[in-house]
Amino acid sequence: MSLDHRLAPEHEELRRTVEEFAHDVVAPKIGEFYENHEFPYDIVRQMGEMGLFGLPFPEEYGGMGGDYLTLGLALEELARVDSSVAITLEAGVSLGAMPVYSFGTEEQKRTWLPKLCSGEMLGAFGLTEPECGSDAGGTRTTAARDEKTGEWVINGSKCFITNSGTDITGLVTVTAVTGRKPDGAPLISSIIVPSGTPGFTVAAPYSKVGWNASDTRELSFSDVRVPGENLLGEEGRGYAQFLRILDEGRIAIAALATGLAQGCVDESVAYAKTRRAFGKAIGENQAIQFKLADMEMRAHTARLAWRDAASRLVAGERFKKEAALAKLYSSEIAVTNAREATQIHGGYGFMNEYPVARMWRDSKILEIGEGTSEVQRMLIARELGF
């Protein structure tokens, strides 16, 4: 396949549009939302009006007819300015709407996707549990069929779930054990739980290190009843379905991490040109120049990695290894660039009024969410035959 990742005119137009939105709309406002731990509803509404939540979905469901490359471009440009806004989009699309599109019935798609694509509604992805973490196959949440009504009765809990408790959250797709295989292994299925369903409790927002303008909560399910037709995909295939969703989502997280890494470069270059010490701009010092050169090298390489993985996904080729490579590399260099950007800014880099302080706080979770760095290395090793 071609490794030419120069953008087509329509992709470049989208990238520029989101870049302008990020700088003109997000940048002036997001600091206050971040400091107050508030969800930026107005910004999210404008993102919906721009069609960003519908980027990779067909027009027949209210989408924009794009693909994962277009989604990645939008995520990268948003994350150059702020990761809370970017992760709200990433989770809303990759984790909230994509399972419905990929595995849902036609009725489920037509019921949920138009509102999810417009940003009028957010969806969430209920996979992680308090005692499981990376061991998603160890799911303890259960869903049993009521033989009289045909309903699913769900009991259990989920943690660290993005977009799960906003005023516009409409559904959470949860994984639950719905039976056992002959060898005793769990059959895990995916079930759509609409917000507000009796017995479905959303906890208060977490107090987080970063992503403070995004919504992250713990969920609990106590005899939650939903119709039998809320099963998403085949019964017993929920774990496999979500592994596929995570493979795709790693490309999106890689794009987001690349944006954060590039944002660190942007802010540090501007600062190094204006900050003066010992009678000259600090950017005239070769030590600073070399830091910036290394930061740019990392961001550029990460961009090539996620675009390569996205291109393979769009072309219908195998992309599992490339997605893991992109996610692993981009998340780790995002942490490195954020640390270096803070160092270049000195004491000001430790002050929340400077964007690099947010970037420093936001970067670490990228090595953890949607598969830790250790999990990515495991996946890559498996693809190498081990």
- CA angle, corner 80, sides to 339 and 323, nearest 5? 85
User: How far apart are alpha carbons 9 and 120 in whole angstroms?
Assistant: 29
- Give residue 373's identity as a one-letter amino acid code: S
CA-only gyration radius of the chain, Å: 21
User: How far apart are alpha carbons 139 and 72 in whole angstroms?
Assistant: 30
User: How far apart are alpha carbons 99 and 128 in whole angstroms?
Assistant: 16
Say which of 76, 267, 322, 370 is annotated catalytic: 370
Instruction: Measure CA of the first residue to CA of the last residue in the chain; give whole Å.
Output: 25
User: How far apart are alpha carbons 228 and 251 in whole angstroms?
Assistant: 32
User: How far apart are alpha carbons 195 and 168 in whole angstroms?
Assistant: 9
User: How far apart are alpha carbons 368 and 188 in whole angstroms?
Assistant: 23
User: How far apart are alpha carbons 336 and 302 in whole angstroms?
Assistant: 12
For residue 286, what are the CA distances in angstroms to 18, 51, 270, 294?
33, 44, 16, 12
Distance of CA 22 to the CA centre of its chain: 17
CA dihedral of 86, 335, 218, 54, whole degrees rounded to 10: 20
For residue 192, what are the CA distances in angstroms to 200, 226, 377?
12, 8, 31
Kind plus residue range of the DSSP H or E element containing 154:
strand 152-162
User: How far apart are alpha carbons 124 and 255 in whole angstroms?
Assistant: 20
DSSP tag of 237: B
Is 370 labeled as catalytic in the residue annotation? yes
Active site residues: 370
